[in-house]
Amino acid sequence: MSHEQIQSCIEECLRCVQACNHCFDACLQEEHVAMMRECIRLDRECADLCAFAAQAMSLNSSYAKELCRLCADVCEACGNECKKHEHDHCQRCAEACFICAMACRAVAA
Amino acid sequence: MSHEQIQSCIEECLRCVQACNHCFDACLQEEHVAMMRECIRLDRECADLCAFAAQAMSLNSSYAKELCRLCADVCEACGNECKKHEHDHCQRCAEACFICAMACRAVAA
Amino acid sequence: MSHEQIQSCIEECLRCVQACNHCFDACLQEEHVAMMRECIRLDRECADLCAFAAQAMSLNSSYAKELCRLCADVCEACGNECKKHEHDHCQRCAEACFICAMACRAVAA
Amino acid sequence: MSHEQIQSCIEECLRCVQACNHCFDACLQEEHVAMMRECIRLDRECADLCAFAAQAMSLNSSYAKELCRLCADVCEACGNECKKHEHDHCQRCAEACFICAMACRAVAA
């Protein structure tokens, strides 16, 4: 696995953290918040795991690959939930999640 | 500041993390989730800051006192919000927050 | 998996965080710090992953089991390194790591 | 405080996390590791606090400003330690720390 691949994955993870955190904050302000329950929950889980995986990669941890595999699963779950909702913040979050999932799969491979 | 005071504060922070995380999870499942928006937001902020402060104390960090001061503020804000709601998880979370705030004030003093 | 099993695993993870953070701090103050390199590195990785797994469990996350499996691996690696060193903080850390690894395996099963 | 100022601060914090984590990893591999004790300790504290502050900003937290004030202090302490050492990773880390400290001061103001 190349240094560039890891650096790119760190950057996608960090973009995904920001998209998920913004989506979490915005979902809590939506009028129909009851529809956003699962989005809120997954935004948090995804942001936290992406942030953790980015730290592990930048620390050159032996467990970075396994964290990236798990991170890809959470990103896909979060992206699948987000893309069901029409809000801009959800659509942008879904996009960030799917890009991050691909970058994590490449590192985990 | 005594070792016992710090150890006690670490333990209250970790109890508060668990109470806030449980309250977050339970609030998202409440029928009237729209009333719980602020509780959900503060549960997350409080859990994350208590966890961070506990790590700083167990690492003997020079910044532990300042983190505890901030942590006490967040615990009080979260406790004040939680105590408005009748749910058991909110009442128990409020109690954990106020106890943690006192322990953090003692360390920050 | 029972609620008691999860609660017990959360508690062992949090004990392990504290033991690893104390060992990290103490290793950095040892005279022969060059011998402690791997211990310092693993103490940090183990503390961070145990703290993360405890948060996931208290949030009732769908990914808690997979995090516990990975956490058990890191705890065993850290425990095996720590037990090589005679320092009290290393011996106590190794013990906390092995107990935590068992609790994590039970949750991951 | 403008959205651009916050976005720029998030990005500097995340760059600083990576510089500190790389410096931590590289310091532990240096021949004269005993000289790097304080650098290793501060690299960890600084990386963790920058990561935490970035999360708080992207969550639009009420406590982001206070975290940024504390983060600026830790970045300056870490930068001052790193700049004492000739290693490339320390010099680059010092630079990232000072830039991040300035961005944090602007947000905290």
| Section A1-16 average pLDDT | 93
Angle at D42 between CA C21 and CA D63, to 5 degrees: 85
User: Which among D45, D55, D63 has CB closest to B63?
Assistant: D45
Per-domain boundaries in chain A: 3-108
Q: Does B99 touch chain A (CB under 8 A)?
A: no
| Section A63-71 average pLDDT | 97
Domain A3-108 has CATH 2.60.40.10: no
Of the CA atoms within 13 Å of residue C105, those in its CB half-sphere come to 11
pLDDT tens for residues D82-101?
A: 999 999 999 999 999 999 99
Do B46 and B20 meet the contact criterion of CB atoms below 8 Å apart? Answer: yes
Using the beta-carbon criterion (under 8 Å), do A63 and C55 form an inter-chain contact? no
Minimum Cα–Cα distance from D17: chain A residue: A55
pLDDT tens for residues D29-88?
A: 999 999 999 999 999 999 999 999 999 999 999 999 999 999 999 999 999 999 999 999
Q: Does D37 touch chain C (CB under 8 A)?
A: yes
Do B24 and B44 meet the contact criterion of CB atoms below 8 Å apart? Answer: yes
Q: Does C44 touch chain D (CB under 8 A)?
A: yes
pLDDT for D90: 96
Mean of pLDDT over chain B: 96
Q: Does C33 touch chain D (CB under 8 A)?
A: yes
- Hey, what are C39's tokens? 């211990």
- Among C45, C59, C62, C89, which would you mutate to test the B interface (most chain B Cβ atoms within 10 Å of its Cβ)? C59
Q: Does D48 touch chain B (CB under 8 A)?
A: yes
pLDDT over 90 at B15, yes or no: yes
pLDDT for C2: 85
Do B57 and B64 meet the contact criterion of CB atoms below 8 Å apart? Answer: yes
| pLDDT tens over chain C, length 109 residues | 688 999 999 999 999 999 999 999 999 999 999 999 999 999 999 999 999 999 999 999 999 999 999 999 999 999 999 999 999 999 999 999 999 999 999 999 9
**Reported ipTM exceeds the 0.90 cut:** yes
User: Which among B21, B54, B55 has CB closest to C58?
Assistant: B21
pLDDT for A2: 85
